[in-house]
Amino acid sequence: MLIDSHAHLNDDRLYSIIDEVVEGYRARGVGAVINAAYDIESSRRGKILADKYEDCYFTVGLHPHDARLATAQIYEEMKALAAFPKAVAWGETGLDYHYDLSLREVQRREFVTQIEIADSLKLPVIIHLREAYEDMNRLLTENKQYLNNGVLLHCYSGSGESARDIYNRLDCYYSFGGAITFAKHKNEVLKYIPQDRIMLETDCPYMTPVPFRGKTNTPALLYLIRDKMAELLRLTPDEIEKITTDNAKRFYKRIK
Ligand SMILES: [Zn+2]
Ligand SMILES: [Zn+2]
């Protein structure tokens, strides 16, 4: 079975047609979907989906875009949701200096706050990182004591050298999505990452893989990312499926 390690069935576009989406990915061999949160409403929806579908799991957390919306009350509600057995990680949190939708200092402050909370709950952390590699390296190094339960860099777009020199040292996992099917993606990064640290994700409804660009993404298209990764690593699709599923189960300890 395939595991979609980072999806947003909690997004309106998919949530509004959820039965159809679930049926679609089950028919394509996806056996578990992690619905990553980005704010309080998506955290709540993740829990609702996990209650309804046995193969749905969820995370809680506040995206760097929305770091400016952080309040103690939001974090308290997220902590309460994280106590449910199908809550498998904290995130997505991180830094995004491409869009800068929250002030950078606010993004950094809320990222550190969230990794402290995740550590107190013994949950792994899902990191969203874009154009903020130096600050992320510094924050992870300075706060290493909060990273005892696993770190996943989702939709990793950093360099192979950064992976080798920094993130591998911090024992990070990496998930790859539709971007690896794009012609301009720098796929050599995969050579720097140990095979027991890679996972597959769709990040749906975003990042639709080739040849379905322009359409809404769903976990039913995860097989295209598996097949592309197999081609890039010169392995079979079955081998990639086994490797990435084993990795996802090791990282998200609560997945059955
Ligand atoms: Zn993200
Ligand atoms: Zn995402």
Report which bound ligand comes closest to the CA of 202.
2
Query: What are the pLDDT digits (tens) for 45-72?
Result: 999 999 999 999 999 999 999 999 999 9
Q: CB-based contacts of 163: which residues, under 8 Å, 6+ apart?
A: 156, 172, 174, 189, 192, 193
Domain residue ranges of the chain, discontinuous segments joined by +: 2-251
Dihedral sign from CA coordinates of 154, 155, 157, 161 = positive
**What CA–CA distance (Å, rounded) separates 85 from 88?**
7
**C-alpha angle 12/157/242, rounded to 5°?**
80
What pLDDT score does 99 carry?
A: 95
When pLDDT is averaged across residues 81-90 and rounded to a whole number, the result is: 98
**What CA–CA distance (Å, rounded) separates 242 from 231?**
15
When pLDDT is averaged across residues 205-210 and rounded to a whole number, the result is: 97
> What's the 218 CA to ligand 2 centre distance in angstroms?
12
For residue 187, name the pLDDT band (cuts at 50, 70, 90).
confident
**What CA–CA distance (Å, rounded) separates 46 from 94?**
19
**What CA–CA distance (Å, rounded) separates 36 from 252?**
12
> What's the 220 CA to ligand 1 centre distance in angstroms?
19
Place of tokens 């394509």: 28
Give the CA count within 13 Å in the CB-facing half-sphere of 18: 18
> What's the 82 CA to ligand 2 centre distance in angstroms?
18
Q: Minimum mean pLDDT among 112-116, 133-137, 217-221, 239-243: which range?
A: 133-137
> Among residues of the chain, what percentage have pLDDT more than 70?
100
Residue 185 has pLDDT above 90, yes or no: no
Residue 157 has pLDDT above 90, yes or no: no
When pLDDT is averaged across residues 96-103 and rounded to a whole number, the result is: 96
What pLDDT score does 130 carry?
A: 95
Element (H, E) at 222: helix 222-233
Q: Kindly provide the residue ranges of all beta strands, DSSP E only, lying in 61-216, ordered along the sequence.
A: 87-96, 125-130, 151-154, 173-176, 198-200
CATH superfamily ID and name for 2-251: Metal-dependent hydrolases (3.20.20.140)
Residue 114 has pLDDT above 90, yes or no: yes
Report which bound ligand comes closest to the CA of 36.
2
Higher pLDDT, residue 185 or 72:
72
> Average pLDDT over the chain, rounded to whole?
96
Residue 35 has pLDDT above 90, yes or no: yes
Query: What are the pLDDT digits (tens) for 126-148?
Result: 999 999 999 999 999 999 999 99
